[in-house]
């Protein structure tokens, strides 16, 4: 007869704890498991052994497993809908960690990580010289620090216009027309980096663009200018256009990464977060968001040292 096995979700229900606490117990070696596909499984014999060990502990010292691992992680960097989903997912699943976001743009998020003011940076920075995303900046900044870079997803960036594209905007040269009003992202945003790279390549001068100096701090805020008719076009991600019911003209696919800076204080919490990303149903969030490619989701693309 085949051995009965259980998923982390099933074990969590048995013990009335978070499934992420189950992953933590597996990680610490208190519960032995094996992996099938992207799911961790525990055999009946191992579960019986674990239950026996729990019963042998004095009742007065039995810990509250869900409260052992609570720690706050500060994420700084680019605004992204998948990052928003991750923060909500962690909160709803009682993962034992709390994520505090600061959507201040890719460059400033990376600098906060460098200064030790954040645990995670969310970035999509195109290096104009190499045409490579993120790693050229990371390798230049983090020489002595222990870091891990994980690919979250690829995103489609492009021009966002009103439904039906009434101004017939098709490329960057249209931004210089006097009947077209643009709204920009703030300096330091990865989207601004990408836009300026395209403008330089197309030899379009920012001074010729009406509204280039008008800045917003996230994709929805910029897109809302188009929704209410205050501007004709912005540069942003497909998902923002989809959520606002606007037209999207694809231009490029960019790489969006999470950068983890490891310290003695955040090591356990960061390991726990990586388990959530790799071993739970969080990846399904990608199916609900337009313009994302998750083919490299969760891939570790760089570690130092």
Task: Please state the rounded mean pLDDT for residues 244-267.
Answer: 97
DSSP state of 175: G
- Tokens 């390549």, residue? 201
Which domains, and CATH codes, for the chain?
Answer: 5-65 (1.10.10), 73-305 (3.40.190.290)
Q: How far is CA 168 from CA 154, 232, 236, 249, 291, in A?
A: 27, 10, 18, 11, 22
pLDDT at 39 over 80: no
User: What's the pLDDT at 31?
Assistant: 80
Residue-level pLDDT at 47: 80
Mean pLDDT, the chain, whole residue set: 89
CA distance 141 to 112: 11
In this prediction, residue 20 carries a pLDDT of 66
Largest CA distance in the chain: 78
pLDDT at 148 over 80: yes
Statement: residue 57 has pLDDT above 60:
no
For the beta carbon of residue 282, count every other beta carbon within 10 angstroms: 18
Q: In 227-281, where do the E strands start and end?
A: 233-237, 247-261
Q: How confident is the model at residue 28 (pLDDT cuts 50, 70, 90)?
A: low
- For the chain, give the percent of residues with pLDDT over 70: 90
- SS3 percent helix, strand, coil of the chain, rounded to 5, is 40, 25, 35
Which of these ranges, 14-23, 76-85, 154-163, has the smallest mean pLDDT? 14-23
State residue 62's pLDDT score: 39
pLDDT digits (tens, 9 = 90+) for 239-255: 999 999 999 999 999 99
Residue 5 predicted with pLDDT over 60: yes
Q: Which residues, in sequence order, are CB contacts of 34 under 8 Å at separation 6+?
A: 40, 41, 43
Per-residue confidence band for 288, with pLDDT thresholds at 50, 70 and 90: confident
Q: Look-up: residue for tokens 């909160």?
A: 91
């Amino acid at each position: 007869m085949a051995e009965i096995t259980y998923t982390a979700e099933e074990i969590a229900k048995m013990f009335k704890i978070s499934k992420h606490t189950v992953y933590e117990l597996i990680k610490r070696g208190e519960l032995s498991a094996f992996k099938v596909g992207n799911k961790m499984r525990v055999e009946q014999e191992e579960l019986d052994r674990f239950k026996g060990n729990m019963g042998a502990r004095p009742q007065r010292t039995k810990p509250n497993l869900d409260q052992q691992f609570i720690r706050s992680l500060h994420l700084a960097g680019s605004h992204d809908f998948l990052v928003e989903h991750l923060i909500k997912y962690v909160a709803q699943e009682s993962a034992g960690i709390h994520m505090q976001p600061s959507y201040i743009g890719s460059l400033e998020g990376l600098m906060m990580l460098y200064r030790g003011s954040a645990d995670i940076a969310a970035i999509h920075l195109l290096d104009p010289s190499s045409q490579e995303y993120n790693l050229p900046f990371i390798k230049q900044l983090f020489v002595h620090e222990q870091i891990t870079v994980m690919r979250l997803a690829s995103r489609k960036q492009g021009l966002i216009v009103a439904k039906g594209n009434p101004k017939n905007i098709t490329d960057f040269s249209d931004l210089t027309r006097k009947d077209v009003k643009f709204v920009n992202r703030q300096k330091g945003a990865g989207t601004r980096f990408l836009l300026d790279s395209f403008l330089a390549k197309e030899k379009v001068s920012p001074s010729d663009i009406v509204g280039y100096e008008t800045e917003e701090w996230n994709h929805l805020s910029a897109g809302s200018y188009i929704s209410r008719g205050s501007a004709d076009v912005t540069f942003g991600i497909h998902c923002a256009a989809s959520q606002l019911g606007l037209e999207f003209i694809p231009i490029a696919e960019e790489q969006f990464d999470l950068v983890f800076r490891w310290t003695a204080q955040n090591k356990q919490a960061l390991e726990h977060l990586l388990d959530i990303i790799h071993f739970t149903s969080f990846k399904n969030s990608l199916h609900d968001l337009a313009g994302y490619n998750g083919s490299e989701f969760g891939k570790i693309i760089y570690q130092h040292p």
